[in-house]
A and B are shown apart, each in its own frame.
Chain A
Amino acid sequence: MSKTAIEVEDLSVRFGDHVALARVNLRVPEGAFVAIVGPNGGGKSTFLKVLLGLLPPTSGSVRIWGQRPPEVPPTLLGYVPQVKTMDRTFPALSIELVMTGVTRRWPWLPGRRAHQEALAAMARVGAAHLAERPLAKLSGGELQRVCLARSIVRRPKLVMLDEPATGIDAIGEADMYHMLETYQQESGATLLMVTHDWHAATHHADLVLLLNRTQISFGPPQEALSEDNLRAAFGHIGHPHSLKFLVSSHG
């Protein structure tokens, strides 16, 4: 039986009276690819922030390899934020962004070792040719590759991705999943991905966590994304026909 990478017990997060997340219980085995799915405002990004140690749980406990999230050494974690939230007007070259993954500081003068490590990570995701290109001149897909290189530059054991496919075309998306799966096979890393795409969750993830402020389901994709579970997560929004269409197309 594989080791447990993440263990969550009765987690809840509240902001004043607003319940962002409640009653989340799960155990993620090492090396699993987990997709976190749910409607907007369902607590997906909140859950990711708790795991990153950016947000404290209101109650319950979260352990990553037995440690509280803020105590987990950042070298064990890789994080790909939502590309759309990044400041692309910031004057920086792509390789500088990747180097922050090595040094955890903005590079002043690029150290040779950090530079080489960053370049190697960029080569692994097919982005070496973008190294000297300013962030402002990257397309959405290119920036996503650069962020992916940044997240894996330290060979982390856990990679967390927040909606990594947003703003990327179909080929770019397929490339990204290929790169993620290759990295996972090489390193045995655990992957956690927030996504709106049920199909991607079904095709690429080993486990799916379905959230709508509370845990609706957690398990293998076909089980977790059953019609009943999808209705429980998404049934309160949209036109009934929309949900029917989505459920049938998913099945």
Chain B
Amino acid sequence: MAELLSLPFMQRALVGGLLVGFLASYYGVFVVQRGLSFLGSGLAHAAFGGVALGLLLNTEPLWVAVPFTLLVALGIAWVHHRTALGGDTAVGIFFSVAMALGVLFLFMRRQYTADAFTYLFGSILAVSRTDLWLAGGVVVLTLLALPLWRRWSYASFDRELAQADRLPVPRDDYLLILLIAVTVVVSIKVVGIVLIAAFLVVPAAAARLLARTFRHMTLLSIAIGMSSAVVGLVASYFLDVPSGPTIILVQALVFFMAVLVTSPLSGR
């Protein structure tokens, strides 16, 4: 274990896992409680379009993926607010467009695209210092925005009540979706595009089953998200398998244990 921690790439992966684990599981409580699981998938696929554009332009993919995903997030929110279409339909449309663009960009690149797989499935070897700075920046932003937890929670419970209490609910919604979008992008290297939606949903869903209050749900989700990231990363190193799926499987294990503990048969 000491040997493992002395490896620079593993140190970066663990710090990245902890940062991303915190972010995804914190925003995950709002994703789960507001029924936005599909949004996580949509934003991850939007990020794929951005990464592919970055690869095509021969620049650092995440620097392109961040603005690209933010634009898609704003587009989803805009179409949802402006039309009578449901949020899932808006996500579905942007999801497909971004994915289609991503595939086209990769095709236009006409090069070996093995690095694209790093982004699709996550790789602990690929986590760089830049990625850590980026994730650290989003964690700082999130900590600065912690007072918003009380407003987002209130609106997650009942938008109309929160609006009647004069909270700026639409503006808060835009901020939340933008922060979720950035979280998705900075989580890509650790978890991978394909599985990032699960990272947003599974720890929060497990916490939802076990918690009596929204505060407990938030704290528990963060604890599950961060600890599963570390356990998953270490396991992926020893088993020599990709980090993203390993982390998600650890989270799924916690989730199913929570289901068993809270099932009606257990008498809880």
Please give the residue numbers on chain A whose beta carbons come within 8 Å of chain B beta carbons, in ascending order: 52-54, 70, 74, 77, 79, 81, 85-87, 90-93, 96-97, 100, 103-109, 134
Contacts and interface: CB of A to CB of B under 8 A. Distances in A.
A82 to B, nearest CB: 10
Interface string B140-165: 00000000011101101110110111
**Overall SS of chain B's interface:** helix
B258 to A, nearest CB: 13
16 contacts: A70-B166, A74-B165, A74-B166, A85-B158, A87-B157, A87-B158, A91-B211, A91-B213, A91-B214, A92-B157, A103-B150, A105-B150, A105-B154, A105-B167, A108-B149, A108-B215
A133 to B, nearest CB: 10
Given A93-B213, A134-B212, A52 B157 contact: no
Given A54-B160, A86-B158, A105-B154, A93 B165 contact: no
Contacts of B167: 104-105
B208 interface: yes
A90 B151 contact: no
Interface in B159-194: 160-161, 163-167
Given A91-B211, A91-B213, A54 B164 contact: yes
Nearest to B214: A91
A105 B162 CA distance: 8
B52 to A, nearest CB: 38
A52 B164 contact: yes
Contact of B214 (A85, A103, A104, A106): A106
Contacts of B215: 107-109
B33 interface: yes
Contact of B164 (A77, A87, A106): A77
Among the interface residues A93, A96, A106, A108, which one has the most CB atoms of the partner chain B within 10 A?
A106
Given A105-B150, A107-B150, A79 B161 contact: yes
Contact of B212 (A52, A85, A86, A91): A91
B160 A100 contact: no
A90 B156 contact: yes
Nearest to B156: A90
Contacts of B33: 90
Nearest to B210: A91
Contacts of A85: 158, 160
Nearest to B149: A108
A92 B217 CA distance: 10
B164 A79 contact: yes
B49 to A, nearest CB: 33
Given A70-B166, A85-B158, A104-B167, 4 more contacts: A91-B212, A100-B157, A104-B154, A105-B167
Interface string B203-233: 0000010011111110000000000000000
Contacts of B158: 81, 85-87
Which 9 pairs between the two chains have the least Cβ-Cβ distance?
A106-B153, A105-B150, A104-B165, A106-B154, A52-B164, A106-B150, A90-B157, A79-B164, A74-B165
Contacts of B150: 103, 105-108
Contacts of B216: 91
Contact of B163 (A54, A90, A103): A54
A94 to B, nearest CB: 11
